[in-house]
Amino acid sequence: MAERVKLGYVGCGFMAQKVHLPNFISIPECELVAIAEVRPRLGGMVRDRLRIPTLYASHEELAADPDIDAVAVSAGFSLQGDIARDLLAAGKHVFMEKPMAVSVAQAEAMVDAADASGKILMVGYMKRYDAGNVLMRDQLRQFRETGELGDQTYARNHGFCGDWICNLDTPMDSTDEKMPGAPAMAPEWLPDEWVGPYLGYLQQYTHNVNLLRYFLDAGDDARVRVVDLDDDGYSGVTIFDMAGTRVVLETGGVSHYRWDEHTQVYFRHGWVHTWAPPLLLKNTPAEVEIYRGGEEQVISRPVAKPRWTWAYRREAEHFIERVAAGKPVDSSGADTLTDVRLFEDIYRIFLEGNLGTKLA
């Protein structure tokens, strides 16, 4: 067997303990050699429970360890982009949680750091690694190529959220240590009173926008057409153009015991529809329905292969496999820059167009 990828992990909070650390530890091609946590008691508890050889007091100390090939990061929304940039500059491959960045300026500095070091920057859009979503994307590509259902006419993602944790019983340590202060970074032009709502909308719906671009193979061919959000800067409708197709994103909330999210892509003579699982419900891929109109009128529900897999586990496998092979990833920082740009555009249109705010 080739040498295992030596992995470090920065930030030992909720996502690390509940999701990423157990996943990386369970991958045979990965060796978790060190963690970094600025809250020392928490770091010690996680190190001892998971038997990790080394605990560092900060990401800078971990970045200086020459034996580490790659690092995974999950920290506050505004913090983790700068941590990822420092790790790339230190010559590490990086997997990081979303959102990649809270401004285009921050995201560009990260992509520049990845380009300069020649290392991988992968953003944790686990929906791209959900076996049901991969099936949906492959089916959509096939319909676009063959023209079997006619032209692609419309796409929508409805995302009202709900219970995303689903009683996940993976053990977790916690302490009463103070969280590190995060500067409330945001685009320079954004008025202070809108930083909170902007971060709330961005951190939730960056998943959905990223997924829609993936389904439509849109790459950077995406722009915002219309924004109609309530005064909360969160609930409403945003309309995009992605690769020439009108795409509608419905955002809001409902107190739902599951996760109220589905995506539908229409063709002239049918559709492909997918229902997202609650995020932390393990080993449950998205469900897919295909409707073929015309003479036959067939509705089918193909089952994703491999069956019973977890999107977060598959994204961790993807990162380790691509680092080992030296190949590009399916959710790179360079690709994600488009999402960061779209969210700045949404909020500019919302504040200027909907609310009539004069922006600098």
* Binding footprint of ligand NAD on the chain (CB under 6 A): 10-16, 36-39, 42, 58-59, 74-77, 79-80, 83, 97-98, 124, 126, 179-180, 203, 279
Nearer to ligand NAD, 152 or 331 (CB): 331
**Minimum distance, C-beta of residue 315 to ligand NAD, in the bound complex (Å):** 9
Nearer to ligand NAD, 51 or 178 (CB): 178
Nearer to ligand NAD, 215 or 312 (CB): 312
Residues in the chain: 360
- Give, to the nearest 10 degrees, the angle between helix 104-117 and helix 79-89: 20
Q: Which residue has the tokens 């506050």?
A: 76
**Minimum distance, C-beta of residue 180 to ligand NAD, in the bound complex (Å):** 5
Query: What whole-number distance in Å separates Cα of residue 197 and Cα of residue 230?
Result: 11
- Give, to the nearest 10 degrees, the angle between helix 195-215 and helix 131-146: 50
For residue 180, whether the previous peptide bond is cis, meaning omega lies within 30 degrees of 0, is no
Query: What whole-number distance in Å separates Cα of residue 56 and Cα of residue 38?
Result: 8
**Minimum distance, C-beta of residue 74 to ligand NAD, in the bound complex (Å):** 4
Query: What whole-number distance in Å separates Cα of residue 202 and Cα of residue 344?
Result: 9
Q: Which residue has the tokens 């963690």?
A: 35
**Minimum distance, C-beta of residue 70 to ligand NAD, in the bound complex (Å):** 16
340 Cβ contact list (under 8 Å, min separation 6): 99, 100, 101, 102, 103, 104, 106, 107
For residue 28, whether the previous peptide bond is cis, meaning omega lies within 30 degrees of 0, is no
**Minimum distance, C-beta of residue 126 to ligand NAD, in the bound complex (Å):** 6
> Measured at the alpha carbon of residue 204, what is the angle toward residues 349 and 354, in degrees to the nearest 5?
20
Nearer to ligand NAD, 126 or 135 (CB): 126
**Minimum distance, C-beta of residue 356 to ligand NAD, in the bound complex (Å):** 31
**Minimum distance, C-beta of residue 58 to ligand NAD, in the bound complex (Å):** 5
Nearer to ligand NAD, 95 or 143 (CB): 95
**Minimum distance, C-beta of residue 355 to ligand NAD, in the bound complex (Å):** 26
Nearer to ligand NAD, 272 or 316 (CB): 316
Q: Taking Cα atoms as reference points, which of 172, 133, 161 lies closest to residue 279? A: 161
**Minimum distance, C-beta of residue 224 to ligand NAD, in the bound complex (Å):** 22
Nearer to ligand NAD, 38 or 320 (CB): 38
> Which residue lies nearest ligand NAD, judged by its C-beta?
13
Determine which helix (DSSP H) or strand (DSSP E) holds 36, and give its type and residue range. strand 30-36
207 Cβ contact list (under 8 Å, min separation 6): 98, 125, 127, 159
Q: Taking Cα atoms as reference points, which of 7, 64, 2, 59 lies closest to residue 33? A: 7
Nearer to ligand NAD, 83 or 186 (CB): 83
Nearer to ligand NAD, 55 or 242 (CB): 55
